[in-house]
Structure 1
Amino acid sequence: MYKRRNDHTKLSLKSPAMSTAEPKIHTDFDEYYGYYDDYGNDSALIYLCENHEPNALGAILTPVLFSLTFIISLAGNALVLWVLVRYERLRTVTDIFILNLVTSDLLFTFSLPFWAVDHTRGWIFGKAMCKIMSSIFFIGYYSGIMLLTLMTIDRYFIVVHPLPAVRIRKVSYAIAASSVVWGISMAATVPEMIFSDIVGHEENRLYCISDYPPESAQIWELLGYYLQNILFFFIPFVVIVFCYWRILNTVIRCKAKKKHKTVKLILWIVVVFFVCWTPYNVVILLFSLVTLKVPAFETYYYDYYYYDESNTTADYQQFVHLCENIHINLFGAMFTPVLFSLAFIISLAGNALVLWVLVRYERLRTVTDIFILNLVTSNLLFTFSLPFWAVDHTRGWIFGKAMCKLMISIFFIGYYSGMMLLTLMTIDRYFAVVHSLYAFRVRKVSYAVTASIVVWGISFAATIPEMIYSDIHLRMEGLYCFSIYPPESAQIWELFGCYLQNILFFLIPFIVIVFCYWRILNTVIRCKARKKHKTVKLIFWIVVVFFVCWTPYNVVIFLYSLVTLKVPAFKTCEMNNRLEYALYISRNLAYCHCSLNPFFYAFVGTKFRTHLIRLLSKCFPRLKICRELSTTSGNSSKRINSRNYSDTDMPLHSIGS
């Protein structure tokens, strides 16, 4: 007889809609299942999560990266140690901290060749070396993070509070603080010292891992995950960002000639720490959810299998495996409409206010006004489609075929044009600040109009495939609006869409934005404007928010292209489910960026804030506005009405206008 359970369809990558493809079917029985000893009983079926392909990827990639890290780290830290011993003689607090950091890095580095061999041939060094290497690895890892944090705090006191630092910064203080760090690191490593052991695994190999007692395995695993997440990442990261933020403000206010180099160093320290450690700790957090058996992170298999009661053997050729994702769709149906609704409300309110100010006061007299008008139009187009996709996630598509094509077109035109207009405005700011004389000659309203038309043309052209192939399709839960390409060219169109978003509408804009704001930052730091630290903050937040909102989404899109290319490590059901969860979360985060644009590109400007205050005072006469804002409004009005006014007269103003 046949037994069948429910199944659900896949999430759409290219469309904000919910479903695009039928469940993936696997017919290789041995790849997924261990044994089946009672053909008529569901509970007798043992499901094994097959992971040969991820292991094969790790066996190739990990040893190479570990070997490179070992060589570079060993050479660099050995040179630092030589300089310390040969010339410095450990005479200062900084020398003590650097010595400890070098020792920590060398401990961590020393274990890497052993783990490289472990990934290729298994553990061949015996039980004692297993415990020693696990201990050395974690002591080096934990102490390194804490020493970086300790050095950051030390720098904070030197720069921000120099007088107290002079009194307390003694060599004995550095030795005591370092001793505490090593003590905490060793204490945190005790579980690994106790439970690390050699365990037999597939392919008749032995591996060195932590083998916790079954009755308390979940507790120990969660302790390890949250210890790394909280004590050795989250707290250090918060401390590092706070300290360097205060240091940055102090350095910007001082009159040192080479302070821009200090600013560069600070930015690189924070960015490198974030980029290197955040993905790893996010994955650790997700693994803790797997350990807690959170439904969204458990993979379920809904199966068809054939059993002939008249025969004692099952026909495995009739067995079909379906990749089930009911929890993913339920998660999206609850999570997405809420965020889309919030993004719609905030974006509509913010962009409507900007549009009102532009029409009421500015009258589109400058290049900046033209660009902001186009950005507002783009954001409103994008925003207008969000309620439709929120309904699509909860009730399916109920608006008809014509509205399906129209909403998908509006959505992608708004998305693509928004990214390009942000890039265009950044380039305009770059020329206004870094090459102000050249910008004064070429920055005309006609230039802004022409550039905006080109942006809209490119955005419209990039949306044509979605206009053609979007349609209403029936799925098990109902009708949904998404794009389905012809079978013979589906892979080409999907890859084209993925790489178009990745390269043209993220990677190139991101590189341009970072380069331009980096040059602007250097120029602003060298100028003598009093409030330049506010400009630095604004630049920092624009780049960080853009990166945080759009990078996860584009990384997931790139990984989906590997699924489309059928890369072995991305063909498993578990990988598909995790990518779909990641797509839901990262996509919603990215789409919220349109609601932040008015605050970064309009309301931070002096003119827009002044006009907004005037509007609010007229609409709400009883609203009390402080004298400081009223004075600013009066002064700004005089400047705006002056015939000699230019929106590029000061680099600081051009950043915020």
Structure 2
Amino acid sequence: MEIFWSNDDGLSEPCSFSDSNSLNVVVGPYIHSIICILGLVGNSLVIFTYALYKRTKSMTDVYLLNVAIADLLFVLALPFIVYNELYSWPMGQVACKLLRGSYSVNLYSGMLMLACISTDRYIAIVQARRSFGLRSVSNSRIICFLIWIFALLVSVPTFHFHHWYEPTHNEITWFNSNEQEETTDPQYVCEWKFDDINTASIVKVAVPSTQLAIGFFLPLFIMIFCYTSVIITLQKAKNFQRHKAVRVVMVVMLVFIVCHLPYNLTLLYDTVSYFEHRDCDAESSLRTAMSVLQTVAYLHCCLNPLLYAFIGVNFRNHFRRTFQNLCWTAAPRRRTGCSASTRGPASGPGSAR
């Protein structure tokens, strides 16, 4: 959505958004670099642990693996998304559609997988007597496959309406009374592009509305219901491990809400007020807020491995054994550098899940 203001001569000029652009240029690259590095390392370790040793032996394992894949694909695409928003897009039409579309697919799939994890824990703890036959690996694989297909389908508008093009305002030559403003080299972007204003209005409201409904509020309500029921059930148990699990569940819910709620509420306001007039200052403030809060939401992909995988005793044991085996294999002449425990199987209590 291009915002214009009228100058003293009655001509409409585009808003500059210099404040929000300055914030993105100065702060954005450093924060996003940290997110990319942490997300890449954490999610890669989860995937390697499942691939090399642990395997997927339960529904939660399958969901965790798919969450890690979605988050890893997201952090791999994030540098290109940030570069496109700050500068221009030099890689052409196909890469543009793949970039924007994959972002949407990973967003929906990752959030819905988190809802599936909460549902699985609800069935395992609250409905334990009825869970026989429901929590099978084959069922979870089918559910994950359907989620990926569904995420792809709801992302079709994102694939279709994102294009690589030169914005029309770059082609405009501005005149004043005496001189012509100098033109600049073409700057191509990877953004929304529509053939008519009616289609633009529908899509620019429908897509964020779908993202809010399916990509945030639906997983949020599922997680609140399931984890609240889990907490109530665990509170009745006179067991230290169960009370420890309550704290873990509360941390999971709190981190999810803190990371995603502020940005999605801002996106909701932006969508609801899409057809209302906003001057340049108001629009600049909104864009700055959305940029900052979106970065906070991105942090969740770094925290998912800690919240869902490494917090489990079994997973930590399997990860430790995988790391020790790699150390033992990679340095056969320096085995004394590895602890003596690497020579035997990792031991530990049962799953903390």
The two structures share one fold, judged by TM-score above 0.5: yes
Name which of 235, 242, 245 aligns with 1:252: 235
Query: What corresponds to 2:104 in structure 1?
Result: 138
Name which of 86, 89, 96 aligns with 1:123: 89
Name which of 48, 57, 60 aligns with 1:82: 48
- Counterparts of 1:238 and 1:151 in 2: how far apart (Å)? 13
Is the CA contact (8 Å cut-off) linking 2:5 and 2:12 kept in structure 1? no
- Counterparts of 1:182 and 1:227 in 2: how far apart (Å)? 16
**TM-aligned CA distance change 1:79 to 1:250, over 3 Å:** same
Name which of 232, 251, 267 aligns with 1:284: 267
- Counterparts of 1:578 and 1:100 in 2: how far apart (Å)? 33
Query: What corresponds to 1:185 in structure 2?
Result: 151
Query: What corresponds to 1:208 in structure 2?
Result: 190
- Counterparts of 1:56 and 1:577 in 2: how far apart (Å)? 13
Is the CA contact (8 Å cut-off) linking 2:17 and 2:284 kept in structure 1? no
Gaps of 5+ in 2: 171-183, 288-353
- 1:192-218 deviation line (CA, Å, top 9, x unaligned): 111111232467422211213323111
Is the CA contact (8 Å cut-off) linking 1:104 and 1:144 kept in structure 2? yes
Give the alignment of 1:90-109 within 5 angstroms: 90-109=56-75
- 1:70-123 deviation line (CA, Å, top 9, x unaligned): 110110011111111122222222221111111111111110111122234321
- Counterparts of 1:119 and 1:63 in 2: how far apart (Å)? 11
Query: What corresponds to 1:64 in structure 2?
Result: 30
Shift, 1:578, TM fit:
6.6
Structure 2 counterpart SS, 1:205: coil
- Counterparts of 2:58 and 2:199 in 1: how far apart (Å)? 46
- Counterparts of 2:29 and 2:92 in 1: how far apart (Å)? 20
TM norm structure 1? 0.39
Is the CA contact (8 Å cut-off) linking 2:20 and 2:284 kept in structure 1? no
Query: What corresponds to 2:312 in structure 1?
Result: none
Structure 2 counterpart SS, 1:198: strand
- Counterparts of 1:112 and 1:80 in 2: how far apart (Å)? 19
- 1:538-565 deviation line (CA, Å, top 9, x unaligned): xxxxxxxxxxxxxxxxxxxxxxxxxxxx
1:223 aligns with 2:206: yes
Query: What corresponds to 1:573 in structure 2?
Result: 281
- Counterparts of 1:186 and 1:299 in 2: how far apart (Å)? 33
Is the CA contact (8 Å cut-off) linking 1:73 and 1:109 kept in structure 2? yes
Is the CA contact (8 Å cut-off) linking 1:88 and 1:95 kept in structure 2? no
Shift, 1:33, TM fit:
4.1
Query: What corresponds to 1:275 in structure 2?
Result: 258
- Counterparts of 2:251 and 2:231 in 1: how far apart (Å)? 12
Shift, 1:176, TM fit:
1.1
Is the CA contact (8 Å cut-off) linking 1:35 and 1:46 kept in structure 2? no
Query: What corresponds to 1:110 in structure 2?
Result: 76
Q: Which of structures 1 and 2 has the larger relative contact order (alpha carbons within 8 angstroms, sep 6+)? A: 2
The number of residues matched between the two structures is 267
Is the CA contact (8 Å cut-off) linking 2:194 and 2:200 kept in structure 1? yes
Query: What corresponds to 1:299 in structure 2?
Result: 278
- 1:508-549 deviation line (CA, Å, top 9, x unaligned): xxxxxxxxxxxxxxxxxxxxxxxxxxxxxxxxxxxxxxxxxx
Give the alignment of 1:348-363 within 5 angstroms: none
Shift, 1:282, TM fit:
1.2
Q: Which amino acid aligns with 1:206?
A: Y
Is the CA contact (8 Å cut-off) linking 1:101 and 1:147 kept in structure 2? yes
Query: What corresponds to 2:160 in structure 1?
Result: 194
Q: Which amino acid aligns with 1:63?
A: P
Q: Which amino acid aligns with 1:229?
A: L
Query: What corresponds to 1:50 in structure 2?
Result: 16
Structure 2 counterpart SS, 1:212: coil
- Counterparts of 1:47 and 1:82 in 2: how far apart (Å)? 52
Is the CA contact (8 Å cut-off) linking 2:71 and 2:110 kept in structure 1? yes
- 1:150-183 deviation line (CA, Å, top 9, x unaligned): 1110110000001221221111110111111111
- Counterparts of 2:118 and 2:102 in 1: how far apart (Å)? 24
Shift, 1:45, TM fit:
4.0
Structure 1 counterpart SS, 2:240: coil
**TM-aligned CA distance change 1:136 to 1:182, over 3 Å:** same
**TM-aligned CA distance change 1:198 to 1:576, over 3 Å:** closer
- 1:586-614 deviation line (CA, Å, top 9, x unaligned): xxxxxxxxxxxxxxxxxxxxxxxxxxxxx
Is the CA contact (8 Å cut-off) linking 1:108 and 1:138 kept in structure 2? no
Q: Which amino acid aligns with 1:113?
A: P
- Counterparts of 1:279 and 1:212 in 2: how far apart (Å)? 29
- Counterparts of 2:107 and 2:37 in 1: how far apart (Å)? 17
Shift, 1:273, TM fit:
0.7
Shift, 1:34, TM fit:
6.1
Structure 2 counterpart SS, 1:78: helix
Q: Which amino acid aligns with 1:109?
A: V
Query: What corresponds to 2:221 in structure 1?
Result: 238
- Counterparts of 2:286 and 2:42 in 1: how far apart (Å)? 38
TM norm structure 2? 0.70
Is the CA contact (8 Å cut-off) linking 1:73 and 1:105 kept in structure 2? yes
- Counterparts of 1:189 and 1:575 in 2: how far apart (Å)? 26
Give the alignment of 1:552-571 within 5 angstroms: none
**TM-aligned CA distance change 1:268 to 1:213, over 3 Å:** farther
Is the CA contact (8 Å cut-off) linking 1:108 and 1:139 kept in structure 2? no
Give the alignment of 1:506-545 within 5 angstroms: none
Identity over aligned pairs, percent: 25
Is the CA contact (8 Å cut-off) linking 1:122 and 1:206 kept in structure 2? yes
Is the CA contact (8 Å cut-off) linking 1:67 and 1:116 kept in structure 2? no
- Counterparts of 1:577 and 1:102 in 2: how far apart (Å)? 34
Shift, 1:128, TM fit:
1.3
- Counterparts of 1:271 and 1:70 in 2: how far apart (Å)? 22
Query: What corresponds to 2:119 in structure 1?
Result: 153
Structure 2 counterpart SS, 1:209: strand
Shift, 1:35, TM fit:
8.2
Shift, 1:59, TM fit:
2.3
- 1:104-147 deviation line (CA, Å, top 9, x unaligned): 11111110111122234321222211111111111111100000
Is the CA contact (8 Å cut-off) linking 1:160 and 1:246 kept in structure 2? yes
Shift, 1:49, TM fit:
3.1
**TM-aligned CA distance change 1:45 to 1:153, over 3 Å:** same
- Counterparts of 2:68 and 2:163 in 1: how far apart (Å)? 28
- Counterparts of 1:189 and 1:159 in 2: how far apart (Å)? 34
